[in-house]
Amino acid sequence: MKSIAAFLCRGARSLAVILIFAGVAYSADEEQVTFYPTYGYEDGDNWVIPMRIWVHERHRLADVVVNEIATDMGDIHPEEMNNFRSRIQDFVADSESHEEVTFEFDNDPEDQEYRVRNSRGNFPKTDNNGLIEGTIKIPRTQAQELLRRQGSRDGWLTFRATSESHAGIGRVRLIEPTGLSIISDIDDTIKITELPAGARIVVRNTFFRNFVGAPEMAATYRQWSEAAFHYVSGGPWQLYGPLSEFLFNEGGFPEGTFHMKSARKNLLNPDTWNDLKQLVANENHTFDLKVAHIGEIMKRFPTRMFVLIGDSGEKDPEVYRRIKSRFPGQVQEIRIRDVVNDKEKNPGRLKGMTIIQAATVKKGVSQFHN
């Protein structure tokens, strides 16, 4: 993701000037609540559900802003410009602070409203970034009734915002203590990003071009029909919307939870560009983040088995080796999509891992686009 940082940093000053001084640069849309897809785990007689909620107002970027950002990319087709408008939305959204969010599960006979409780036992309102993070608890008997009433056969439940002026729908999968879980990277593992190819190609693949799924990966994932899926990415949360749309609605990948990097949401904040640069370019931060996310999941499911899937373009082999050293009895297999030909160039790096053959990505050369 280094190249995305370079792209975002170029023209940052001019973009800020446009947003601040040109009142027509954006127009407000409706308020929304994003409930990021999550999971529930058993704790005694309850299901505990970690939650991340974002309250925001989306804006439609005016052409002057879009053209300013896209100038450096050269020849941009109309379809690519439309992609960019869609994918940049959550980077320029207006986060809503001090908001109280309540929600209820569909078909709940008691119409019980829930609020997220934080680690101090309080019910927080949204912070300055429009976020609420914490957990809710549901008794097992109540969860079983909700699953029955919603007709769920795979543990997924749907809920929706009920607080005034908020609209949003969320999903949670209640995952049993035993079974198989798949933890998967996204970029260059299941979606072609071509990180080793360099800045221009990565930026176009991420923000402008139609997303392309990695060959045969969706079919492979669908073969694990009973497994739970967790998608762990080094990309920022602002890309969750277009990524989930592609993976689940277009790409045919199994529905799963998301675990990504955090950043301030509003590009009017002068420090946001530096935050984004650090978040997308700091490989050590990405390594630590993935180890933390995956470790947390595995701790909560100590009797489940896990298959870890990533690629050789970044540090997935090192992340997964670290995880296996911490949870040796839970890692069933590590699979690596070898996009830099480490099988021949650096075979020790992938020792003990199942190698998925892939086209080698070369610096400055795209394998899938002209």
Q: What is the pLDDT, as a whole number, of residue 368?
A: 61
Same domain? 187 vs 292: yes
Same domain? 82 vs 55: yes
Q: What is the pLDDT of residues 333-348, one digit of tens each?
A: 999 999 999 999 999 9
Same domain? 298 vs 340: yes
Same domain? 195 vs 231: yes
Residue of higher predicted confidence among 324 and 196: 324
Q: In the chain, what percentage of residues exceed pLDDT 70? A: 81
How many Cβ atoms are within 10 Å of 270's Cβ, its own excluded?
A: 11
Give the pLDDT mean for 24-32.
Answer: 54
**Which structural domain, as residue segments, surrounds residue 96?**
2-174
How far apart (Å, rounded) are the C-alpha atoms in residues 196 and 309?
A: 18
Give the pLDDT mean for 98-118.
Answer: 97
Given a cut of 90, whether residue 217 has pLDDT beyond it is yes
Same domain? 88 vs 203: no
Given a cut of 60, whether residue 282 has pLDDT beyond it is no
DSSP result, 52-119? EEEEEEEEEEPHHHHHHHHGGG-S--HHHHHHHHHHTGGGS-EE--S----EEETT-TT---B--B-T
Q: What is the pLDDT, as a whole number, of residue 247?
A: 97
Given a cut of 70, whether residue 268 has pLDDT beyond it is no
Within a domain: 269 = yes
* Highest mean pLDDT, choosing among 227-231, 258-262, 282-286: 227-231
Same domain? 168 vs 186: no
Given a cut of 60, whether residue 276 has pLDDT beyond it is no
Lowest-confidence range among 84-88, 189-193, 264-268, 283-287?
A: 264-268
Q: What contacts 9, CB < 8 A, 6 or more positions away?
A: 273, 277
Same domain? 189 vs 138: no
Give the pLDDT mean for 200-213.
Answer: 87
Boundary residue ending a domain (174, 200, 225): 174
Same domain? 226 vs 306: yes
Are 289 and 280 in contact by the 8 Å Cβ rule? The answer is no
Within a domain: 366 = no
Q: In the chain, what percentage of residues exceed pLDDT 90? A: 65
Give the domain CATH number at 193: 3.40.50.1000
Q: What is the pLDDT, as a whole number, of residue 275?
A: 47
Q: What is the pLDDT, as a whole number, of residue 322?
A: 98
Within a domain: 48 = yes
Same domain? 40 vs 57: yes
Q: Which regions of the chain does DSSP assign to beta strands (E)? A: 26-35, 38-43, 46-61, 94-95, 103-105, 131-139, 156-161, 169-174, 180-184, 228-236, 257-261, 305-311, 331-338, 354-357
68 — pLDDT class (breaks 50, 70, 90): low
Within a domain: 339 = yes
The pairing of beta strand 305-311 with beta strand 103-105: unpaired
Record the tokens describing residue 171, joined without a space. 């999903």
How far apart (Å, rounded) are the C-alpha atoms in residues 109 and 144?
A: 13
Within a domain: 320 = yes
Give the pLDDT mean for 228-257.
Answer: 95
Longest Cα–Cα distance of the chain, Å, equals 61
Same domain? 141 vs 231: no
Boundary residue ending a domain (158, 174, 190): 174
* Identity of residue 274: N
Given a cut of 60, whether residue 135 has pLDDT beyond it is yes
Within a domain: 248 = yes
Boundary residue ending a domain (174, 189, 213): 174
Q: What is the pLDDT, as a whole number, of residue 198?
A: 78
Collapsed DSSP state (helix, strand, coil) of residue 160 = strand
Within a domain: 301 = yes
How far apart (Å, rounded) are the C-alpha atoms in residues 153 and 175?
A: 12
Lowest-confidence range among 52-56, 83-87, 157-161?
A: 83-87
Same domain? 230 vs 119: no
Record the tokens describing residue 66, joined without a space. 């879009």
Record the tokens describing residue 40, joined without a space. 């529930």
Count of domains for the chain: 2
Within a domain: 252 = yes
Lowest-confidence range among 25-39, 63-77, 95-109, 127-141?
A: 63-77
Same domain? 296 vs 163: no
